[in-house]
Amino acid sequence: MKKKVYVLLADGFELIEALTPVDVLRRGGVEVITVSISDTNEVTSAQKVTVRSDITLSQHDITDGDMLVLPGGYPGYENLANSEEVVKLVKKYANNNRYICAICGGPTVLSKNEILKGRVLTCHHSVADEMKAYKYTGKIVEKDENLITGIGAGRALDFALELAKVLVDDETIKNIKKGMELDK
């Protein structure tokens, strides 16, 4: 059965933290759907690049996914954390033991809303102080059961490959890396 991943996009999202997982996972045959958390499909990144999401959160039920991705980027991660709909969705994924994946400032969505407290995670150093209810490591990528976190934009590819590892088989990972010239 094909895996389904939703990548949440809020104005001010970090471009490579959102789109690197989209690229890597789609290369692996995963169904990846970008979701604007506003009422329009147009979402502008922190770098002032406007992208068109596949769907909007207000018009679709996205509770059927295997994984939810929360990119960082300022003020994108704050916009995610302050969205009542996003918080409900993240809690639902957590309660149903589905993957929640957050990178850079994205883990603050968890801390600000007391989701998965006590778990091991990493995030950007600028928000590490907000992770007091968690076991912060500062590693490039952390996986703790259904929670996968990444440190920041410069490691978006490491983060994306870790997401792929839980969704596709080793041969598919090998092919993704070969196609991206990562295995030389």
User: Which residues form the catalytic set?
Assistant: 104, 124
For the cut 80, the answer to whether the pLDDT of residue 23 exceeds it is yes
Q: Burial letters for 83-113: b for 16+ Cβ neighbours within 10 Å, e otherwise?
A: beebbebbbebbeeebbbbbbbbbbbbbbeb
Give the mean pLDDT of 158-165.
98
pLDDT per position as a tens digit, 72-111: 999 999 999 999 999 999 999 999 999 999 999 999 999 9
Residue with tokens 């149903």: 96
Determine the angle formed by the axes of helices 156-167 and 15-27, rounding to 10 degrees: 40
User: Which percentage of the chain shows pLDDT scores above 90?
Assistant: 98
Determine whether 184 is exposed, middle or buried from the number of CB atoms within 10 Å of its CB (0-12, 13-18, 19+). Answer: exposed
> What confidence score (pLDDT) does residue 1 get?
74
Give the mean pLDDT of 64-71.
98
Domains by residue range for the chain, with CATH: 4-172 (3.40.50.880)
Separation CA 86–CA 184 (nearest Å)? 40
pLDDT per position as a tens digit, 103-156: 999 999 999 999 999 999 999 999 999 999 999 999 999 999 999 999 999 999
**pTM value?**
0.97
Query: Which helix or strand (DSSP H or E) is residue 163 part of?
Result: helix 156-167
